């Protein structure tokens, strides 16, 4: 039986058996647009810090990032990215499957995004290799580092790092377990069409996490260093963080 993006996503709720703040679900790891916009999606129905949540990330052509989440910033993606953001918005965020490989994403009344997933020779090879790899290797920083170096050129997405530090200071590890190519059918933000897919003129990154220069969908397990208010930045965007201290 063929595994579809929808069926894989609906089964991807097992938290990794590691220490740290843990998350499991699926993601559009990133989707660049020729216009300079950038979108990403995180849907984590299982996590160790709160209830399940969905977040959409948007970067405008000037490089300003907004994260829309249906959970408080402290319990969703800004927990790790806030120091690099211009704005956070808690609103109704939905990711709804309209077919086995078709996803409809909305963030309040401000953002609408339709995607279609497909396989490619490179995702097929990566998925086959990942399927036979034991969990111990998925949790090894050395193995993840090597996987990132191989995955970038193989998938044609630029730099890839599956471990490092995020803007708020925590270390992270990421396991993209199953991969598909993602194509945007249509995306609008604030009523404006973002136009066709296309790589950014300069690859974007959040700390050590490089965002792909080609849209990818994945089932994901990820874990992070536990938040420490003495050492890590708060979930608030940098402009709102009046303390400015770790």
Residue spans of the domains in the chain: they are: 5-240
- Cβ neighbours for 103, distance < 8 A, ≥ 6 positions apart: 5, 28, 95, 96, 97, 114, 115, 116, 117, 217
Helix crossing, 141-155 with 121-131: angle to 10°?
160
pLDDT above 80 for 244: no
pLDDT at 12: 82
**Cα 12 to Cα 162: distance, rounded to the nearest angstrom:** 18
What does the pLDDT look like over 135-154, one tens digit per residue? 889 999 999 999 999 999 99
Contact criterion met (CB below 8 Å) for 177 and 24: no
What does the pLDDT look like over 191-229, one tens digit per residue? 999 999 999 999 999 999 999 999 999 999 999 999 999
pTM score: 0.95
241: pLDDT confidence band, cut at 50, 70 and 90?
low
pLDDT at 13: 86
């Amino acid at each position: 039986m063929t595994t579809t993006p929808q069926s894989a996503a609906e089964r991807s709720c097992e938290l990794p058996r590691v220490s740290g703040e843990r998350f499991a679900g699926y993601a559009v790891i990133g989707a660049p647009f020729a216009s300079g916009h950038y979108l990403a999606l995180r849907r984590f129905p299982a996590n160790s810090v709160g209830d399940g949540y969905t977040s959409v990330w948007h970067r405008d052509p000037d490089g300003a990032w907004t994260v829309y989440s249906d959970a408080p910033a402290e319990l969703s993606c800004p927990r790790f990215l806030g120091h690099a953001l211009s704005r956070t918005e808690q609103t109704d965020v939905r990711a709804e499957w309209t077919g086995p490989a078709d996803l409809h994403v909305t963030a309040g009344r401000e953002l609408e995004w339709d995607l279609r997933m497909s396989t490619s020779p490179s995702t097929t090879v990566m998925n086959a290799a990942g399927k036979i790899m034991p969990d111990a290797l998925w949790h090894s920083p050395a193995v993840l580092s090597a996987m990132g170096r191989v995955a970038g050129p193989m998938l044609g997405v630029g730099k890839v790092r599956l471990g490092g530090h995020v803007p708020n200071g925590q270390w992270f590890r990421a396991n993209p377990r199953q991969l598909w190519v993602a194509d945007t059918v249509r995306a609008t933000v604030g009523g404006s069409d973002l136009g066709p897919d296309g790589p950014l003129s300069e690859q974007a990154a959040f700390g050590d996490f490089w965002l792909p220069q080609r849209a990818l969908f994945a089932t994901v397990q990820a874990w992070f260093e536990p938040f420490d208010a003495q050492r890590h930045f708060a979930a608030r965007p940098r402009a709102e963080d009046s303390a400015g201290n770790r």
